[in-house]
Copies of this chain bind each other. A is one copy, B any other.
């Protein structure tokens, strides 16, 4: 576990040893807790009046949400990244969460596992980027959430590439695993949607400026993130529709393939079976009477039969060619 505390303002930034004491320092206080053991947050929770149920949610596995408490707002969001090459689906979509406790001039963040998006903002605050330093805790929380939401765009870009790859393959219905891959894509989209819906709902609360900690100015920024989330949710729905379309085309290609196979079989049977029958006729052993198979003894009997059979086959093949069966 690491607990880092910084107090910053337009004038500069000061790292702080004791997170509890930093609450009342001049400027904006950010206490960042990464990878805490189960019971290690008691001190910080006490100093910032955080309820045990909030701590439980921050460390547990719950849906993204916003809850307003007496003197702070609790925000929980989930960062997601898609890792390729893994086998199990659960490992592929890596979901990490961050809890924000947003007070008037302080922010406590808790990451059960280090989140890249938060790391980025932390480093910017520590490098005293002017835009961040001169604004309050609500703006810093916005920057973090913005980075988290941007990660979803990368995931959907990846999924879009996959959909395009799958679409190129469905037409010939060759590999039987195309449907499984489509199903996996739908599954990914399902998971992403389950993350996006409550996130959109939660950011909507912030964008409407319900919590008192969100200043009117920062509200506009939350509205921007909210727009992104609406767009992401739409993308997910669109991609699900595209995968449905790909699946339909695939299944149709399979039906057409079966139809083609049946046509080939029918052509072969229709051409060969009558010829075999004719050959069978002239293999019969009738005799002893002038009307019993006199053809067998005709001078050009055999060539005539062969030519006849060739003509029969030829006519049938031409017919099937015209019917587009060949």
Contacts and interface: CB of A to CB of B under 8 A. Distances in A.
B287 A297 contact: yes
Given A274-B272, A284-B305, A285-B283, A187 B227 contact: no
Most chain B beta-carbon neighbours within 10 Å: one of A231, A255, A285, A306 = A285
B277 A272 contact: yes
A263 interface: yes
A289 B284 CA distance: 18
Contact of A269 (B252, B265, B286, B297): B265
B286 A176 contact: no
Interface stretch (A6-14, A97-105, A108-116, A240-248): A240-248
Contact of A282 (B180, B224, B285): B285
Contacts of A62: 227, 231
Given A176-B253, A221-B53, A289 B285 contact: no
How many copies of the polypeptide does the oligomer hold?
5
B300 A53 contact: no
A276 B280 contact: yes
A176 B187 CA distance: 25
Contacts of A291: 299-300, 302-303
A257 interface: yes
A134 to B, nearest CB: 15
B297 A288 contact: yes
A282 B274 contact: no
Most chain B beta-carbon neighbours within 10 Å: one of A57, A273, A281, A324 = A281
A53 B220 contact: yes
A276 B280 CA distance: 6
Most chain B beta-carbon neighbours within 10 Å: one of A191, A248, A277 = A277
A326 interface: no
A262 interface: yes
